[in-house]
Amino acid sequence: MTTLAARTLERLTTVSTATLTTALFKRGLRNVFLQEVARLSPGPNMVGFAYTLRTIPAREDVDVLDSFKDRSNPQRRAVEECPDGAVLVVDSRGDAQAASLGAILATRLALRGCAGIVTDGGYRDSPDIAAMAIPAYHKRPSAPTNLTRHHAVAINDPIACGGVAVFAGDVMVGDNEGVVCIPAHLAEEVAEEAAEMTVFEDFVQERVREGASTFGLYPPTDPQTMEDFARWRKERGR
């Protein structure tokens, strides 16, 4: 497990998942955006390293309400042990027919410093979770208790979430579009590059709003573009 360098974390707070996927595409990584995982309510970027919870299908004889009394239940343990600054990422096998977790556990996670919660299943009490400050992402609301469909088996296993490989310690970044998973060893360089790309994209967006054609500008095949950008950047001190 790890902590994120303050600078990397700060950079990732200011870039979009769209820009990050392009930075990762340049490195040959094409499958980094969690599919069908949406934010419950808009807000600032979520950034944190992945702390994973893995589930398999429930089995009626073991997934009974009393199983919650066991403090070694991985779902409950994850909530009490999730490190400060981590994002809890739940592999729900894309199954939103029962909840991955609900408002009480989300509240506890938020209070313990968890940076966000992500599942490819659904949350129960989703209107309450949507009203919390903690960034939360899921597939769709799902009232039934997790025991109905999910059996939590392990913490910090490598998992699938939204069709993407997530290893504990990878860096999860979420904006109002969705969530991207950055492999741990690339987090710093990708954060730097995405921050740089964002400055250029802001310049491009401004030029386009002023009426410029995208030809020559985006991508900057016209040499003038990079000259203009250098000046623009200097003027704005970015």
Enumerate residues 21-40 that contact a second copy by CB under 8 A.
Answer: 21-22, 25-33, 35-36, 38
State how far the Cα of 17 lies from the Cα of 23, in Å rounded to an integer.
10
Backbone angles phi, psi at 196, to 5 degrees: -65, -45
Under the binding rule (CB under 8 A), the answer on residue 237 touching a second copy is no
CB nearer to a second copy: give 69 or 234.
69
Q: If binding is defined by CB under 8 A, does position 101 make contact with a second copy?
A: no
Q: How far is CA 148 from CA 142, 143, 153, in A?
A: 11, 10, 15
Cβ atoms of 180 and 35 within 8 Å: the answer is: no
Q: Which is nearer to a second copy, 6 or 210 (CB)?
A: 210
Least CB distance to a second copy at residue 230 (A): 19
From CA 73, how far away is CA 185, in angstroms rounded?
31
From 178, 187, 193, 225, residue interacting with a second copy (rule: CB under 8 A): 178
**Minimal distance in Å, beta carbon 97 to a second copy?**
6
Give the nearest distance from C-beta 59 to a second copy in angstroms.
Answer: 5
Q: Which of helix, strand or coil describes residue 209?
A: helix
C-beta of residue 37 within 8 angstroms of C-beta of residue 137:
yes
- Tokens linked to 92: 């729900």
CB atoms within 10 A of CB 43: 16
Cβ-based nearer residue to a second copy, 8 or 75: 75
Q: Considering the complex, what minimum distance in angstroms separates the CB of residue 188 from a second copy?
A: 16
Contact segment (CB under 8 A) with a second copy among 7-15, 148-156, 187-195, 227-235 equals 148-156
Residue 4 Cβ vs a second copy, minimum distance, rounded to whole Å: 20
- Asked if 226 is part of the footprint of a second copy (rule: CB under 8 A), the reply reads no
CA distance 30 to 26: 9
Which residue lies nearer to a second copy by CB, 83 or 144? Answer: 144
Does 121 interact with a second copy (rule: CB under 8 A)? no
Considering only residues 37 through 96, tell me which ones interact with a second copy, judged by CB under 8 A: 38, 42, 56-61, 65, 68-69, 71, 76, 79-80, 93, 96
State whether the Cα torsion 192-197-203-209 is positive or negative.
Answer: negative
Number of shown-chain residues binding a second copy (CB under 8 A): 84
The angle at the Cα of 155, spanning 121 to 57, to the nearest 5 degrees, equals 45
